[in-house]
Amino acid sequence: MKRANGRSACPVSFGLETFGDPWSLLVVRDVVYFGKHTFNEFLASDEAVSPSVLSARLEALTDAGILHRYPDPADRRRVRYDLTDRGLGLIPIMVEIAEWSAAHDPDTGAPADWIALVRDNKPEMVRRYTETVRRGGSVFVGEDSVLAQVEAGQLQAAGA
Amino acid sequence: MKRANGRSACPVSFGLETFGDPWSLLVVRDVVYFGKHTFNEFLASDEAVSPSVLSARLEALTDAGILHRYPDPADRRRVRYDLTDRGLGLIPIMVEIAEWSAAHDPDTGAPADWIALVRDNKPEMVRRYTETVRRGGSVFVGEDSVLAQVEAGQLQAAGA
DNA sequence: CAATTAACTACGATGACCGTAGTGATCATG
DNA sequence: CATGATCACTACGGTCATCGTAGTTAATTG
């Protein structure tokens, strides 16, 4: 993620400079899909980032205004990272990446019906992802997950 | 773009492994927005990639089935790179990245009215990008560019 | 046939990332 | 209150990718 001569005015280039390294979007994914919020939770992800790299990434994302970093009031050893509004704005990008990968990775772990649900109800699903994560939930984990909302039948009506 | 322990089944991770380095999407951008198709055209981009890195990227993207590489029949010194259908599938991702960056980069070079046009007519614009690039055109450059199509008034009707 | 252009490759230097080990602060337990 | 565990990191040496420049080969142009 080092561009030689600084910046170009191109918006694709700006985005890639901000979050276009191999790890940044995985952190965002951990927050959005799995409700992770702390250093060790990110560290335990399948992709095995090293602590120094993770530390640098979290600092960069915080500086870029994508994450909000604050000590956990309940346990002062812990530091929590939440997505800011700017970070929540990355959700549509992640959804498109997931859709592309699900279509082109023969070994994808993405459930086909979930991908189809998101594809066919994209604006509504992106809105639901965003609002759920904003209030502290996630897509797949927790009581108020988007998955739970869908299973409770709140979407079939809205979608089709 | 080196993941230590190989792959995870996560689709976000798969996508990032395939095109999540700092350069791959810039090559795709050069093709889609500016109609570039050759090594030296990519090399001349504002972001100043080095030839060895570009060479490695083009090979990786070709191996991943995103680019199609073939000698130019008209000038056999030249090698052309076109987007495959799989590569054209990256257009929605790029459009979302551009939209996010235009919203959050105070120095963005993206024209606000174009961004708004794409945002408010996303499925139609993505379809138009894709089909235009598929037949050899680009978004901004050339006679059959999407820009030219819009200026000819073919979209105001379709959009609103 | 000389000069130009195109697509790369070579290479040394710099920087990023890797994995492991360690640190200081806070919390849980006896 | 002493001990151990947990938490968020930092340190560090080794490896790997990338950087920028220079060169090589093949095809085309004049």
Say yes or no: A68 and A113 in one domain. Answer: no
pLDDT for B66-114, tens place per residue? 999 999 999 999 999 999 999 999 999 999 999 999 999 998 989 999 9
* pLDDT at residue number B47: 84
Say yes or no: B65 and B109 in one domain. Answer: no
Flag if A22 and B17 touch (Cβ within 8 Å). Answer: yes
Residue in B83, B100, B107 to test binding to A, most A beta-carbons within 10 Å: B100
Please give the average per-residue pLDDT across B12-32, as a whole number: 93
- Please name the helix (run of DSSP H) or strand (run of DSSP E) that holds residue B124, with its range, or none: helix B122-134
B152 with B145: CB under 8 angstroms? no
Average pLDDT, rounded, for chain A:
90
Q: Which of A25, A57, A87 is the last residue of a domain?
A: A87
Nearest to B93 by CA among B66, B65, B60, B54: B66
Say yes or no: B71 and B147 in one domain. Answer: no
* pLDDT at residue number B22: 82
Query: A48 falls in which pLDDT band (50, 70, 90)?
Result: confident
Please give the average per-residue pLDDT across A90-105, as a whole number: 96
A13 with A2: CB under 8 angstroms? no
Residues in chain B, overall count: 160
Say yes or no: A40 and A119 in one domain. Answer: no
**List of chain A residues whose C-beta atoms are within 8 Å of the C-beta of residue B15:** 97-98, 100-101
**List of chain A residues whose C-beta atoms are within 8 Å of the C-beta of residue B94:** 12
* pLDDT at residue number B155: 66
Say yes or no: B139 and B159 in one domain. Answer: yes
Flag if B46 and A10 touch (Cβ within 8 Å). Answer: yes
Residue in A97, A118, A119 to test binding to B, most B beta-carbons within 10 Å: A97
pLDDT for B102-126, tens place per residue? 999 998 989 999 999 999 999 999 9
Whether the CA torsion B61, B66, B71, B74 is positive or negative: it is negative
Say yes or no: A80 and A94 in one domain. Answer: no
Say yes or no: B155 and B103 in one domain. Answer: yes
How far apart CA B146 and CA B22 sit, in angstroms, is 26
**List of chain A residues whose C-beta atoms are within 8 Å of the C-beta of residue B18:** 101, 104
In this predicted structure, the answer to whether residue A3 has a pLDDT above a threshold of 90 is: no
Please give the average per-residue pLDDT across A32-59, as a whole number: 94
Q: Which positions in strand D are less than 7 Å from the protein's CB atoms?
A: 6-12, 16-23, 26-29
Q: Which of A30, A56, A87 is the last residue of a domain?
A: A87
HEC readout, chain A: CCCCCCCCCCHHHHHHHHHCCCCHHHHHHHHHHHCCCEHHHHHCCCCCCCHHHHHHHHHHHHHCCCEEEEECCCCCCCEEEEECHHHHCCHHHHHHHHHHHHHHCCCCCCCHHHHHHHHHCHHHHHHHHHHHHHCCCCCCCCCCCHHHHHHCCCCHHHHC
Q: Which residues of B143-157 are buried (b: 16+ CB within 10 A; e: fewer)?
A: eebbebebeeeebee
pLDDT above 70 as % of chain B: 91
Radius of gyration of chain B (CA): 16
* pLDDT at residue number A105: 92
**Residue with CA nearest C1' of nucleotide C26:** A77
Say yes or no: B40 and B95 in one domain. Answer: no
Distance from the Cα of residue B73 to its chain's centroid: 24
| Facing A100 at nearest CB: one of B7, B90, B109 | B90
Q: Which of B40, B55, B87 is the last residue of a domain?
A: B87
How far apart CA B64 and CA B86 sit, in angstroms, is 9
Residue of B nearest to A32 (CA): B12
* pLDDT at residue number B159: 46
The model carries a pTM of: 0.92
**What is the span of the domain harbouring residue B25?**
1-87
pLDDT for A117-154, tens place per residue? 999 999 999 999 999 999 999 999 999 999 999 998 86
**Residue with CA nearest C1' of nucleotide C11:** B52
| Facing B12 at nearest CB: one of A20, A25, A65 | A25
